[in-house]
Structure 1
Amino acid sequence: MGNGWHEWPLVLFTVLGQCVVGGLIVTGLGWMAASDDRASQQRLVRSMFFLWLVMGIAFLASVMHLGSPLRAFNSLNRVGSSALSNEIASGSLFFAVGGFWWLVAVTGKMPALLGKVWLIVSMILGVIFIWAMTRVYLINTVPTWYTGYTTISFFLTALLAGPIFGALLLRAARIPFKGSAFATLSIVALLVSVVIMLLQGVQIGTVHSSVQQASALVPDYAAVQIGRLILLVLGLGCWLCPLVRRHSPHTLSILCGCVLVIAGELLGRIVFYGLHMTVGMAVAG
């Protein structure tokens, strides 16, 4: 798969970041729905600590990719004109605004109206963060990335991994949550992902530079995507099967499902980075 494995810091940063955005939206809606039950809200807020823990891991991976923490500050030098700077800035803003919301909320002193508005702003910033991520990879000299599949795939990760992550936190906080609507959304996202896998498989067969075919970068594309699909189906199944039987999923079941779904998305993102190639004579895997 080219050198996709060697981009593991970026794989972690993008997948975990998108997972957190989706998870925040789900748990945030749960927090707002429990506005009449202060005790439930506080249990959920404590559970939401893991959102920001995962986000911290994502940013740590991003810093490791840069090689030095000091370079992280340099990446902000061209906010507004550089896609990379915009990505780091939007991600940092999302992390800061959402993280401070959690810090105030966990003390139990968050005013109801302010908390709701603040949380909605955090959700919007999360969506902007994912959008900024996609702009980094829409490079016209990298034909394998310069497609709508990149944007769609990044948002699909939030729709696949986010709801089950949110469901896990809600279940851990003992918040009543059947999640049928979000489960349906994840199923739709899975079906769209399958279509994207097939279309992209056809597309990379037509992309080439003067010295190499894109398909040569990922000769095992089909096998890896099948493995990814199996992980996604098994993971979502851990969450969906109890819902189909009209039972509340156990925390351990959702946890296993969440791990499998994230593993599937990590595998898919490795394929994405392995597809890196430039037009002209130079080809980078």
Structure 2
Amino acid sequence: MENLSLVVFTVLGQGAAGMAFVLALQGLSRKEPPGGRLTVSYSVMIVLLGIAGMASLLHLGQPFRAINVLGGLAHGSPLSWEIVSVALFGAIAALVSMLHIRRHPLANNRVLQVTTAIAGLVMVFTMSRVYNLHTVDPWFSIWTPVQFMMTSLVLGFASVITLDAMHSTGMQWMRVGVTVSALLTFMSIPLFVLFLGSLPGMTTILADNGLTMARCALLAVGALLLGMPLVNRKYIPACSIAGVACLVASELAGRVMFYDLLAFRIL
């Protein structure tokens, strides 16, 4: 599909923002020496954001066009603010990651961790504003920012859980977090479908398409695999990795469907 680069950009970028949020929660609940697990977590977050950034530049055709887009800041252009927020979040996240790699005492500064999380959430919000278009009814609703934020929470908790478990420092509350986030996302899907069905020109065929069913199935399987240790108290690395893969695939499927809704714009 022609919007595949945007699918990758939004899903991975929001996943990175979710990781920053979960890592900030961890930082507020406990203090760890810089390096080790946190270095890996912040490095993965930077990699995800880097891939997302490259995908967004591909959508522009020529990367240097991003500079031209910045000219819209004076007019309050949502796209311009999105680029600024991505750059700001990337810069702060890269700084924190570098501090952890160098095992600098400031790496665990809680103000810096919270600032990184806030920058990530602001980035997710500015992403949603880009799609707040009067000409595209399916996008012009509260469901757009809700879906983007839920993607951040689901992928953020899932990624940090998996990385923590590999270092034997996983926390039960994070498994509860990903389970609850996945459950809320699962519950929001039929509500979003009902919203789509209420729009002029939309049909029940859209509500029952293969992408929606695939997303629900992958979401359920992923949450089950990641939440399994809450029941049997046994961690199986392969299950955790498979769970993350299912959740990422679920969010990608949901985002493909989101961009497919562009076909229902008002002419």
Aligned counterpart for 1:268 among listed residues 226, 230, 254: 254
What amino acid sits opposite 1:51 in the alignment? M
CA RMSD of superposed structures (Å): 2.0
Decide whether aligned partners of structure 1 residues 253 and 28 sit closer, same or farther in structure 2, where only a CA change above 3 A counts.
farther
Relative contact order (alpha carbons < 8 A, sep ≥ 6): 1 or 2 greater?
1
Shift of 1:228: 0.6
Contact 2:78-2:130 at 8 Å conserved across structures: yes
- % identical aligned pairs: 27
What amino acid sits opposite 2:60 in the alignment? L
Aligned counterpart for 2:176 among listed residues 184, 188, 191: 184
Distance 2:149 2:132 in 1: 14
Unaligned runs of 5+ residues in structure 1 are: none
Does the residue aligned with 1:183 lie in a helix, a strand or coil?
helix
**Partner of residue 92, structure 2:** 97
What amino acid sits opposite 1:62 in the alignment? S
Shift of 1:29: 3.5
**Partner of residue 157, structure 1:** 151
What are the Cα deviations for residues 186-223 of structure 1, in whole angstroms up to 9, with x where unaligned? 33333332332212222223323xxxx2338x647443
When structure 1 is superposed on structure 2, of 22-31 and 261-270 the one drifting more is 22-31
Please report the TM-score for the alignment, with normalisation by the length of structure 1: 0.85
Distance 1:104 1:193 in 2: 34
Contact 2:70-2:80 at 8 Å conserved across structures: yes
Contact 2:99-2:106 at 8 Å conserved across structures: no
Contact 2:137-2:265 at 8 Å conserved across structures: yes
What amino acid sits opposite 2:188 in the alignment? I
Distance 1:221 1:7 in 2: 22
How many residues align? The count is 264
Aligned counterpart for 2:3 among listed residues 3, 7, 23: 7
Please report the TM-score for the alignment, with normalisation by the length of structure 2: 0.91
Distance 1:112 1:190 in 2: 30
**Partner of residue 20, structure 2:** 24
When structure 1 is superposed on structure 2, of 49-58 and 100-109 the one drifting more is 100-109
Distance 1:273 1:223 in 2: 15
1:46-61 matched pairs, under 5 angstroms: 46-48=39-41, 49-61=43-55
Contact 1:22-1:166 at 8 Å conserved across structures: no
Does the residue aligned with 1:214 lie in a helix, a strand or coil?
coil
Contact 1:26-1:162 at 8 Å conserved across structures: yes
